[in-house]
Amino acid sequence: GQSLEQPSEVTAVEGAIVQINCTYQTSGFYGLSWYQQHDGGAPTFLSYNALDGLEETGRFSSFLSRSDSYGYLLLQELQMKDSASYFCAVRDLGNTPLVFGKGTRLSVIA
Amino acid sequence: DSGVTQTPKHLITATGQRVTLRCSPRSGDLSVYWYQQSLDQGLQFLIQYYNGEERAKGNILERFSAQQFPDLHSELNLSSLELGDSALYFCASSIHSGGADTQYFGPGTRLTVL
């Protein structure tokens, strides 16, 4: 089976940088995804890493280290609208569904 | 807007009843996934269909069932409802069945069991 660990809550100041970590345990590994979910809203895809290294998309970046079974989501120039829950998710090899972590609730304060 | 539609948006019913949640995937997507999200909980995978056939099953209760129709829309049937079934139910779709596929989520159906 798979398991993921990520902090339950993070608070950061508007304009700052925040990093949300995710460690995972899987029997196989296809890639690590990140999803954002605002209160009452649907999860939306942010990024996907299959290989080691950093992927950058605007203010958001995602990093993966396969050897450490570890990844993180980096949010820069934080805005109030970034207040949301962020989920990491992994997929095992083969036709297996995504398994989501319990999510990290990010609160951006002024 | 993800392109995935779900109906109804809200559903209030009583214990012991049966409800059906409906999902239409994005145009061209063959896979449909169902998730349950309880208060302050993560997304619990229930079941996946790919091109009309069941592909993967998660922690789905025997009281729950699903199907995907030839037009690729899907329905999740919840029966003998209990208070603990109150949750947000999301449908997601993707082009294929796994791998690097991005999943696109619908707006969800909020089920309240009284």
Inter-chain touch A48–B102, beta carbons under 8 Å: yes
CA B15 to CA B38: how far, in whole Å?
17
CA B50 to CA B84: how far, in whole Å?
28
Ranges of chain A with pLDDT below 50 = none
> Chain A: which residues have CB within 8 Å of chain B?
30-31, 33, 35, 41-45, 48, 50, 87, 91, 94-103
The two structure tokens encoding residue A75? 């949010």
Amino acid at A79: Q
Residue-wise pLDDT tens digits, B3-27: 999 999 999 999 999 999 999 999 9
Cα separation values, B2 from A63, B46, B60, Å: 25, 20, 25
Inter-chain touch B103–A98, beta carbons under 8 Å: yes
CA A107 to CA A85: how far, in whole Å?
9
Identity of the residue in A44, A50, A94 whose CB atom sits nearest the CB atom of B105: A44
Closest CA to B47 of B71, B68, B25, B28: B68
Strands, sheet with A3-5, edge to edge from the N-terminal-most edge strand:
A3-5, A18-25, A70-75, A60-65, A53-57
CA B17 to CA B35: how far, in whole Å?
20
pLDDT of residue B107: 97
Q: What is the largest CA-CA distance in chain B?
A: 40
pLDDT of residue A1: 67
